[in-house]
Structure 1
């Protein structure tokens, strides 16, 4: 029971940190350990657009497959080119929001970096664009005054790419172009080992 309560407390703490947006952590906090514990890559339900129209279920499934492919590319390049452990965490449950899913994964695995793969669909009178957002956050651990474990999620970096825009801009670009560009920027800013 004690371990269950500890895990439950950790889930709530992580949820609060994730929801708060980590505004108290300086934007330039890089990871001094260069991801020795590894990186978790989050994607799937809660990270992709949702559609009310039942006819859009095929589109929803397409974005799920796209996000899975993006996590595969990220994982492979991080492990092969930067010799850092990476693991995919794909949310397949549409009833679990992204913050809850992230908290659940952190309750099970200790890592020092996280990447979120988010696909968003902006549709209004002036725009109809599908965007890809890749965001990295360094995760650091410590102890509080009572000797308990603490965790800080730093801001890291975020990049936004156009998957499908005006005149199908971005639709002909291979998905691994986006992931390679993002990982290159992570390396340049010191968040991941060269």
Structure 2
């Protein structure tokens, strides 16, 4: 997937320095939407450890982690992860994403989410993908709606975000109604 000079590809250990830089630059912007992060999280070493853990989850079939990179420079401008992948009769996964503040408003999150749903359906055979947003995160809710997600519930005190347990709106996109493989 390439849109507006950005491509989506699988995350690699070599992305650690770029992700650390991008996350550090966006720390204040993302703080209201993220759990507390240690100082190490914003370093190359912290990102290398995080990526190694993501890749181990990927290798176990539980996660599909992707990075959004600027096509000319390879600099990371966002991430999207399809995690909690469950097969069998459930055939579901949950998605989380973020985009560098300087790149918001260009349709990158919607395009990446649409592509991850295609991968979930066509390559993983998933039936549904779910996502949650803070109640007040209208921008993320618009992204989900544009990508075909529908709200199906409200989860009180769902995640510990920015120092407190926060309510979340829950969304899902049903991908197909075929029987499980």
TM-score between both structures, scaled by the size of structure 2 = 0.30
Structure whose residues are more often strand by fraction: 2
Instruction: Work out which of the two has the higher radius of gyration on C-alpha atoms and give 1 or 2.
Output: 1
TM-score between both structures, scaled by the size of structure 1 = 0.29
The structure whose RCO (Cα within 8 Å, separation 6+) is larger is 1
